[in-house]
Structure formats: structure tokens, C-alpha cells
Amino acid sequence: MKTFTIVSLPGDGIGPEVVAEGLRVLHVVEKSLGGVRFDVREAPCGAGEYLRNGDPLPPATVDACRAADAILLGAMGLPNVRWPDGTEMVPQIDIREILDLYAGVRPIFLYNAAHTPLKSYAAGDIDFVIFRENCEGLFASRKNSYPLGASQVEDTLRITRRGAERIIRAAFQWAAKRRNFVTLVDKANVLPTMAYFRSIFDEIHKNEFGIARTDRVYVDAASLFLLQTPRHFDVLVTENMFGDILSDLAAGLVGGMGMAPSADIGEKHAVFQPSHGTAPSIAGQGIANPVATILSVAMMLDWLGVAEGGFKIREAVRHALADDRVATRDIGGTLSTTQMTDAILAAM
């Protein structure tokens, strides 16, 4: 019996609701596979934990994450709980940086034509993955401070060779398992940092992945092309802030944030979470869409080497969502959070 330790960080808002559904699916898969066990251990984290104990990311939680085989995270932060400089508490980003989870992986897949605002797109027509560099870029300045009444403030977009090389390699490696086509998204026509990023992309493509097809697109044009021709894309790789923005736009193509799973992956550790936030306006109502979390569980199983479990989950989601009636409110239906999971488990 192989045992994996999973640290669960339900967090704030709808986080605990969707994590509970993801874990329900995980334990059904556990029973169906045999020979594998998931030891799930919940740890405190988030804005609520700050209100309770004064620290949104306690040291004991960090230690638990370091020791875990994988981390399942719900959502973190509340709009009315902020640091003195006005920024929200984002322990999920702190965890990325502490554990060096440099690769933000955001799969985008259309499960039902009714979910997209685009015309003439069938299920499966939209299928690409965004690789977002997670540990530097413009986010490298997020802990900057400035004096009250300052007349000017600055943030720095930081690109290192090491950071660029590893995210670009990861994108090419992922593409090799798909359609072997990588699109670089940058702003190399204006920003020297992005020209540097592009030069490293070109170097790695030429020297290590010459068989792959490539394209280079400015981020503003990429926003347009994602709306006009999403079929064109396979794997996109980009800087931290650009990836943050384009991930939300891309999620809108397939039904919204409730349909967008994600993983933050490093050399030794990985966090799996829905791309959405805490959605405090609907927290506690039982109407949040759990699909993004359930698909994040599938990504977690793939990363743990339990690919059969990940496949089972994705196929169950595919079969369940083929029925237009299987939908929560955000994608035009009436199902509750629990009922959506019930439908996926029935399909499984």
C-alpha cells in the first residue's frame, strides 16, 4: 500500500466548500484504485487564520507543506482583511515563493459548448495550457513599501536567466506530451526584460527543443487571438503578471473561474488549487462550482504518479458536463455545489 500525505489548506470564503468536494472525489478514487492511500491533514491558513491568531501563514503550516507529498488549497484572502499598505493577504503566493513553485500551470479545456461565449465552438475545441512563471516577473516587487504621501512609487519587473530557463523548459516538456507547439507571450517590443526573456526562449528552442513548433506573440495581441482563434494555441509560456491576467481571460472562454484548475509546481513540492478566489459574496450558500477544484485534484494525482486516478476524474467530468443540466449557477444551471459533485461521481 502506497500512502501519500496530502496537506489540505481550505482557506477562506468558498475555499472550504470546494475543497470538501475535491476531497470527496479523491477518496472515491482512492477506493476504486486499490493499493494507494491518501492521508489528508488539514492545516490553518488564510485571512481567517490571521483574524483568529494573527498570522495568515503559521510556521507550523509551512512545515506541514514542506513535509507533504502534495498540497490541496482552496482559496485565500478576504477583501476587508488587508495589510497596513492596503494589499490583501495572499499566503498562497507566499507558499509559492517559500517552496519555489516556479511553474504556474493553468489548463483550459471546454467541456460543453454551452459554457463558452464564443460561437461555433464544440466541446474539446478549446484545449490549451498556460505556463506562468510564478516566482519573479512583476510580482517580484509585491513586498515593496512606500512612505505615506510619496509623490512616486515604482515596481520592478525582474527576469533572471535561471527563472526564465526553467519555466520555458517546463513549457516545452509539457508541449512534447501534447501537440508540441509552444507560444511565447511577452512585450519584447517595449520592455528590455521581455526582450531578454524572448532571447532565452529562442536559445532553448534552438539548442534543446528544435523539433517543437513555436510562435512569439505580444501580450496585447495574445489577448485578441485568445478570443478570436483559441483553437490555435497548445502551450503558452509567459511572465508572472501577464500569466495572471491571461489565465482569467482564458477561463472566461470555457465557463469562468469555476472551470479553471491549476497547479503551482516546483522541483520538490506542488500546490493544486482552483484558479478562482474566495468569492465571499456567495460563501456559505452552497452554490460554488467545485469543478475547478475537482480537476485540480486530478492534476495532483498525475503529479503524484497516480495517473489512472487523474484520468478517471477527467473522464467523469467530461461525461457529466456533456449533459447541459449538469451545471451550477455560474455556468447557467441550478445545481448546488454538492449536487455537481454527485453528478461527477455518478459519471465515474
pLDDT digits (tens, 9 = 90+) for 269-304: 999 999 999 999 999 999 999 999 999 999 999 999
Between residues 173 and 34, the one the model is more confident about: 173
- Whether the CA torsion 64, 46, 84, 147 is positive or negative: it is positive
Q: Look at residue 154 and tell me whether its pLDDT is greater than 90.
A: no
Tell me what the mean pLDDT of segment 159-167 comes to. Answer: 98
For residue 84, how far is the Cα from the chain centroid? 28
Convert the pLDDT of each residue in 231-265 to its tens digit.
999 999 999 999 999 999 999 999 999 999 999 99
CA 315/CA 317 separation, integer angstroms: 5
The pTM of the full predicted model, rounded to 2 decimals, is 0.95
CATH topology for the 1-101+263-348 domain = Isopropylmalate Dehydrogenase (3.40.718)
**Do 1-101+263-348 and 127-141+156-252 fold alike per CATH?**
no
Tally of CA atoms within 13 A in the half-sphere of 223 that contains its CB: 11
Domain positions in the chain: 1-101+263-348, 127-141+156-252
The pLDDT-based confidence of 28 (bands split at 50, 70, 90) is very high
Kindly give, in sequence order, each residue whose CB lies less than 8 Å from that of residue 245, ignoring residues fewer than 6 positions away: 219
Q: Grid coordinates representing 172?
A: 516545452
Tell me which residue of 149, 129, 134 sits closest to 95, measured CA to CA: 134
Kindly give, in sequence order, each residue whose CB lies less than 8 Å from that of residue 66, ignoring residues fewer than 6 positions away: 99, 269
CATH topology for the 127-141+156-252 domain = Rossmann fold (3.40.50)
Q: What angle do CA 246, 251, 257 make, to 5 degrees?
A: 115
In sequence order, the β-bridge partners of residue 238 are 132, 185
> What type of residue is 316?
A
% of the chain beyond a pLDDT of 90 = 90
